[in-house]
Structure 1
């Protein structure tokens, strides 16, 4: 005969918790479907026009807001991964999206960063040079290009940022958004659109100084114009010194501080959200 005795207290509690989880899953699924429906309406809106669905600053602002209110045992990194997948799923609703990645070697980590940011279902193609990755994007083969973060002292011929076709092409994001180990490689996302601010931004400003210009003089000129530079990267060529400054805030072309700089060539290469802290060790 079947056992008709009531379940043990522990089994009953587990069954009740599982039922609660099932109800929460249904509620989350309902919200995901509602979110996708809103995105679909936005994609079809005449007000949106033919602009790209990529809004790196908007995504960063959403993540920053969620992380600020987050509590409990779920890791901050998990929150970012979950919402990154939601962002990319909704981006796919608005049109095709793919990435061209320059990976200098199998251990570079840039492909992994691109996968983590844009999701496992986003088409990603690896290219042997930054120029090839940029060409794939400008040729319509990819929506964005993912390139290594600039490093100090690299030769001018190797510095892809020195030849970036700004303002037509702009840096719109830095990877990873959630700060990781110091050894984690950094990457920049370049797109054929202007970046959008998130409220806590950093901008990239390139200036061309005279050959042999001292780092201290360039830093002093930036500070004298009112720029708070968080890093300064130099690339020296026989005829000039190229300097790439990461400055606090979202820099616009009409910013009056630019006119205070002593160099004729000064180009804004883009902007991105300042990274946020990861989980405590």
Structure 2
């Protein structure tokens, strides 16, 4: 005879919880479909105005707002990964998107950062040099380039990609990863053929050309006198020039009066990016 005994209390509770999850899944799916419809309308408006769907600053501001209200067992990094996939799905609705990465191999750290940020199904192509990755963006073959974050050890060789960036045609617009960057991780910068947009908490990359042999202390002092806080400063000797790449706190614009007070004529804003946020480990 079939067993007609009532389900054990634990089984009944599990069934009720699964039913609750199913209802939540349906509600989340409904909201995703509604969000996609709004994005499609936005894409139509952008097509008329000729604007770009790439808004790294806006995305960072949304993530900060969600992280500020986030509670519960879902890890902060997981929340960001979920919303990054939503962002990229929305970008795909608005047109094609592809990524050019400078990395030794598709399995290297920078390629992994690109996949985590832009999604595992994004069209990503690895290039052997930063110049090749940037050329792909300039030619319209890729939407963005992902390049190694500047480091002191590669600056003196005269081959630093940031020293030859074609501004304003190409600009830095984001830093990877946005959340939970551990010390010593292979950070990367995103370069795109659009201007960076402010997120509310940003860092600006400022390229300076000082006199030959200018010491680091003089450059740091000039920045401080101008009222420009620089958490990091990379100095490179390239030929007869002294190039300095300063990470400046805040979102600098070309008409900022503080730039005019610097003692060097060449001062170029290479772009800006949202300041990274801490992850669960912190």
If the TM-score is normalised by the length of the shorter chain, which range does it land in?
over 0.9
- Provide the secondary structure at the position in 2 that maps to 1:196: coil
Kindly provide the CA deviation profile for residues 200-224 of structure 1, in whole angstroms up to 9, marking residues without a partner as x.
0000000000111100000000010
Equivalences for 1:66-215 in 2 at 5 Å? Answer: 66-104=66-104, 108-153=108-153, 154-155=155-156, 157-215=158-216
Shift of 1:45: 1.2
Query: Are residue 238 (structure 1) and residue 243 (structure 2) matched?
Result: no
Query: Are residue 272 (structure 1) and residue 273 (structure 2) matched?
Result: yes
Give, in whole Å, the separation in 2 of the partners of 1:137 and 1:37.
29
Asked whether the 8 Å contact 2:179–2:276 carries over to 1, the reply is yes
My pick for the range that moved more, 82-91 or 156-165, is: 156-165
Give, in whole Å, the separation in 1 of the partners of 2:178 and 2:46.
32
Asked whether the 8 Å contact 1:56–1:196 carries over to 2, the reply is yes
- Provide the secondary structure at the position in 2 that maps to 1:77: helix
Give, in whole Å, the separation in 2 of the partners of 1:145 and 1:91.
16
- Provide the secondary structure at the position in 2 that maps to 1:229: coil
Aligned length: 281
Kindly provide the CA deviation profile for residues 187-238 of structure 1, in whole angstroms up to 9, marking residues without a partner as x.
0000000000000000000000011110000000001011000100111112
Give, in whole Å, the separation in 2 of the partners of 1:155 and 1:107.
28
- Provide the secondary structure at the position in 1 that maps to 2:162: helix
Shift of 1:135: 0.4
Shift of 1:4: 1.7
Kindly provide the CA deviation profile for residues 73-122 of structure 1, in whole angstroms up to 9, marking residues without a partner as x.
11001001000000001100000000000014577410000000000110
| Distance change in 2, residues 1:68/1:241 (3 Å) | same
- Provide the secondary structure at the position in 2 that maps to 1:205: strand
Give, in whole Å, the separation in 2 of the partners of 1:176 and 1:280.
14
Give, in whole Å, the separation in 2 of the partners of 1:97 and 1:204.
25
Asked whether the 8 Å contact 2:105–2:126 carries over to 1, the reply is no
Asked whether the 8 Å contact 1:211–1:237 carries over to 2, the reply is no
Kindly provide the CA deviation profile for residues 14-38 of structure 1, in whole angstroms up to 9, marking residues without a partner as x.
1100000000000000000011000
Shift of 1:280: 2.5
Query: Are residue 258 (structure 1) and residue 259 (structure 2) matched?
Result: yes
Asked whether the 8 Å contact 1:156–1:162 carries over to 2, the reply is no
Unaligned runs of 5+ in 1: none
Asked whether the 8 Å contact 2:106–2:126 carries over to 1, the reply is no
Unaligned runs of 5+ in 2: none
Shift of 1:155: 2.7
- Counterpart position of 2:29: 29
Give, in whole Å, the separation in 1 of the partners of 2:46 and 2:280.
41
My pick for the range that moved more, 117-126 or 100-109, is: 100-109
Shift of 1:5: 1.6
Asked whether the 8 Å contact 2:105–2:111 carries over to 1, the reply is no
- Counterpart position of 1:222: 223
Asked whether the 8 Å contact 2:203–2:274 carries over to 1, the reply is yes
What's the TM-score once normalised by structure 2's chain length? 0.97
Q: CA RMSD in A?
A: 1.4
- Provide the secondary structure at the position in 2 that maps to 1:14: helix
Asked whether the 8 Å contact 2:233–2:245 carries over to 1, the reply is yes
Shift of 1:48: 6.0
